Structure 1
Amino acid sequence: MANDEVVLKQYLTKYRHRDYTCREVINLIQVYRSLTFRLEGFVFNNGTRKDLLNLEGTIPVNYKGTFYNIPVCIWLMDTHPQNAPLCFVKPTPDMSIKVSRYVDTNGKVYLPYLHEWTQTGSTLQQLIQCMITAFGEIPPVYSKPRTEARPPYPVNSFMPQPSGYPYPQVSPQPGYPTSTPYPTASNLPYPAYGAPYPGAVNSNGSPYPPATNPTPYPPTSGYGPSPDVGGGTITEEHIKASLLSAVEDKLRRRLKEQSQQSQAELETLRRTQHELREGKARLEDILAKLQRERSELDKNVAILQEKEKELGAAVERLAEQEGVDVDEAVVTTAPLYSQLLNAFAEEATLEDAIYYMGEALRKEVIDLDTFLKQVRTLARRQFTLRALMHKCRQKAQLAC
């Protein structure tokens, strides 16, 4: 087993997820020991060739209580597990492919599991189990009559072809995926349609029972062509039950998807409702604050209007009055107050006179001697007036 792992890792050097693919293949061949792996050439529809890992062997299928070994071929893309593998049924020389909705005339396998392949949830072991279940329902091969001659290679076959065989560029057929690559091998020892493959026999070593109608069946809707209702060992009840099961599975998946989508939308709506309620509360607070500020502004505007009216009335009264004499505007009630007022006015005048004398000296209007003489006289008079005002205040009992 260790040697197989070393060889397998050498084969998977160009694979994007080498370690994951190696572990999955090792686990698969431990369960299905008839499967072997090898690296072979893989040619796409556009002629591009790649070396891809090929799992080849038989898988046990229980059909009507008897186990049969169905030969299969599984190709792993170099992007595995991002892309689904390509699966084929490989009949022996005395076997022919039985066309059904799971297998076409070229042996290509069509399964819902392959159609719904996901990188994280799909595995090779689950794929093999789905193939066993599908082939147990509709066998993919039947025994060929002894007189039937081996057919030549079909020109438009998508199965691998031997070395040296020309690879014509063919157009996709209806019902086949247009972007799925189909393999061809440069060193495979078997031809394509109806060519020698590993034997498909049951657990007792006897070949499969022959089909009553080996003629290819007309295609129906689904993952591949389906057999005629009256041909082979498949009855109309089997086909009906299979179709009902497929429809039920599809409806169940769709209902589950719709339910999950509805739950997600409902959760989104709940979050949106919560956010809207919080936004509504904030807007109500802001609106209440604006209303309070508006009421205060209305009160201030009313007060200002009243003051404006009062000022207008005062202006009108002043306009109706005659001019006021400045000297008669202030009249004292006693001679002492009149003396104090006159002394204060004269002292303020002297203060202004001294200031302007300093300005005249600065501008050199008068000389220094004249400035000192006049300032001395004015200062002496100012001192006398201040002393007089002090005595008047004391006499009138005013603050000194």
Structure 2
Amino acid sequence: MANDEAAIKSYLAKYKHRDFTTREVMSLIQVYRSLTYRLEVFVFNNGTRKNLLNLEGTIPVTYKGAVYNIPVCIWLMDTHPQNVPLCFVKPTADMTIRVSKYVDSNGKVYLPYLHEWNPNGSNLMKLVQSMIAAFGELPPVYSKPRNEMPMPYPPTFPTTFPHPQYPSQPGPTFMPHVRPTAEMPTYPNFGLPYPHPGTANGSQFPTPANPLPYPTFNYGSSPEVAGGTITEEHIKVSLLSAVEDKLRRRLNEQSQQSQAELETLRRTAQELQEGKMRLEDILARLQKERSDLDKNITILQEKEKELQSAVERLGEQEGVDVDEAVVTTAPLYTQLMNSFAEEATLEDAIYYMGEALRKEVIDLDTFLKQVRTLARRQFTLRALMQKCRQKAQLAC
């Protein structure tokens, strides 16, 4: 048991929900021990190849009081349980697929349980039980007449079976492989014949008293096949089943297309509604900005009138002496202001002394002597301003 779990986990290394899928597979193979697991290459219709887990074997189906082992094959997507598993009936050389509402001519299984697959509530155990119940109502295979030649198998077996897309489930789409002839497609058995009822590898259900390999039955009200020939009634039933299957698929395709178009229209309507809300918000902000702009224009016009009035008043007044206009409130501030003005004057004097030396108006000795004197006075004034600012408790 531990070896099976470790092997399954190694097979499911790239699966999105590895632990959940491992638990489901372990629970299934503990109940249906004839099912075996293996990792095989699955080829999609666009040529993409993936390693997917494949559960194949037999499941016990009760039909008219007798238990039969029906060979099936279940592929698990790497996003299981988000995407529905793909189920197939896998007939052996002595069996033929019986087309019904549950199985098509390619062996693809259609069940209400698959159609209503829910990732949060559906599981493999209930899926197999649904297959058993459906196949007990309409067996998916029947035995070939003894004088009918078995269908030939190709010398090399494909790695996947035909996979038509399941109607309403999301995920990858599969196209059936088309054979160049009109004969019914066959599936390889990988060299492992399925056991008949009562064998050691089969189910543990009781063996019928008069065992048959698989149930034989009539198509509707048609007579038994005699001598391995196919009657017109068989052809009619087969054609009706094919037409029904084709109509069902076309209806599903049209339904999916309509739903996709409806979803596109809904998204477009939602985007238009969101765009309308954004435009209304932008319009409201523009109106508010326009109102603020009108208020600012009014304020600027009033300020402009005030400035014009001030200019007119100043123009009518006489000239003002700068030295008399600037009056300090304390002697300390007067000393600070005079020191600052004299220091700025010395700074300009030193600059122009440098210009005079550059233009050779004065010689170097005169420049050095005058600059030394001015710099000494400038240092004294700066120290005095520092003391005044400290005394006045101003920022230094």
Question: TM-score range, shorter-chain basis?
Answer: 0.3 to 0.5
Bigger radius of gyration: 1
TM-score (norm 2): 0.47
TM-score (norm 1): 0.47
